[in-house]
Amino acid sequence: MIRGNSARWFWIFVGPFAAGLALFTYVPLLWSVWLSFFDAHNTVTPTHFVGFGNYTAMLRDDAFRSSLGTFLVFTLFIVPTTYVFSLSLALMVNRLKRARAFFRSVFFLPAACSYVVAALIWKMSLFSGVRFGLVNTVLGWVGGDPVAWLSTTSPPWYWLVVVTVRLWLQAGFYMILFLAGLQRIDPALYEAAAVDGARPGWTVLRHITLPQLRATSVAVLLLLVINAFQAFDEFYNLLSTASGYPPYARPPLVYLYYVALGQGQNLGLGSAGAVILAVIIAAVTLGQARWLRLGRGHADA
């Protein structure tokens, strides 16, 4: 009787969330895979089956391959920058004797901010226009010339805007992960290093802290690469203009958005691109996990 009541209450609490997950996540995913095999222009119920034609067309599309190149550039910028910055924040906060909870909350707070809101703040307040905006105002104070930060011409200053907004939004989250890893390190290791004459600094960081943070570092790097693949809000809200979107500053999700919901509304081609992107993300994640030896202990590695 008690077991039956437990099962009933379990489904009462979990059932609505499971139904919502299936209805709004798994069903659309399966429907997108189904659409990718049809010629679906302006409809989600197509009848003309094309097989792998959409996949072939997407793989031959120069714009789609260019969007993957944009992702690669973005990844080279954002992954190491976020890793180093969030680890530095975690090391500084972990050394605090007072107000540790305060600074931990302050640095984590941007993670709760919407990407759209943050992108608009960066675009309209910090890096807005050529003459206005906080950054150009500060440059004027020191005698510098105003910069068209969001111009998609050379030099590509927009990369600084895109990377800084993403860094501000996610560094606090990864700082919390590193803090959790730092608090799991046995203090006796640092005491033994001090007895052996190791001074606090790069030597201790290299030979004790970083090896003990290996599992956390692997998880952080995996999440950073996956999140870089999913970049959309900052690119779309910062760089889209009335005259269109520059193809050389367009990551895969933005390109697929224009394919599926733009003027052509080719949902079949967009769904095929989404499936290809999902396969690429899975392959990169598995390859990265294997290269970083995810799941293996420090002694085994």
In this prediction, residue 244 carries a pLDDT of 53
205-237 burial, b for 16+ CB within 10 Å, e for fewer? Answer: eeebbeebbbbbbbbbbbbbbebbbebebbbbb
In this prediction, residue 265 carries a pLDDT of 85
In this prediction, residue 1 carries a pLDDT of 46
pTM: 0.83
Cis peptide before 155 (omega within 30 of 0): yes
Which residue shows structure tokens 């379990």? Answer: 10
Q: Which of 262, 258, 256, 261 minimizes the C-alpha distance to 274? A: 256
Domains and CATH numbers, the chain: 48-291 (1.10.3720.10)
The contacts of residue 271 (CB under 8 Å, 6+ apart) are 32, 33, 35, 36, 40, 54, 260
Q: What is the DSSP string of 37-99?
A: TB--BS-SS---B-TTHHHHHHHT-HHHHHHHHHHHHHHHHHHHHHHHHHHHHHHHHHH-SSS
Q: Which of 177, 170, 219 minimizes the C-alpha distance to 90? A: 177
Furthest-apart CA pair in the chain: how many Å? 79
Cβ neighbours around 81 below 10 Å, total: 16
In this prediction, residue 249 carries a pLDDT of 67
259-287 burial, b for 16+ CB within 10 Å, e for fewer? Answer: bbeeeeebbbbbbbbbbbbeeebeebbee
Supply 32's token pair.
Answer: 């997108």
In this prediction, residue 245 carries a pLDDT of 57
Measured distance CA(57)–CA(269) in Å, rounded: 8
Supply 87's token pair.
Answer: 């680890």
Measured distance CA(178)–CA(167) in Å, rounded: 16
Task: Give the H or E element holding residue 167.
Answer: helix 158-183
Q: What is the pLDDT along the chain (301 residues), one digit of tens a residue?
A: 455 577 788 888 888 899 999 999 899 899 999 999 999 888 888 888 999 999 999 999 888 888 888 888 888 899 999 999 999 999 999 988 888 889 999 999 999 998 999 998 998 888 886 667 888 888 888 888 888 888 767 668 888 899 999 999 999 999 999 999 999 988 888 888 788 777 777 788 888 888 899 889 989 999 999 898 888 888 888 887 544 555 566 788 888 888 888 777 889 999 999 999 999 888 988 888 788 776 555 444 4
Measured distance CA(227)–CA(159) in Å, rounded: 17
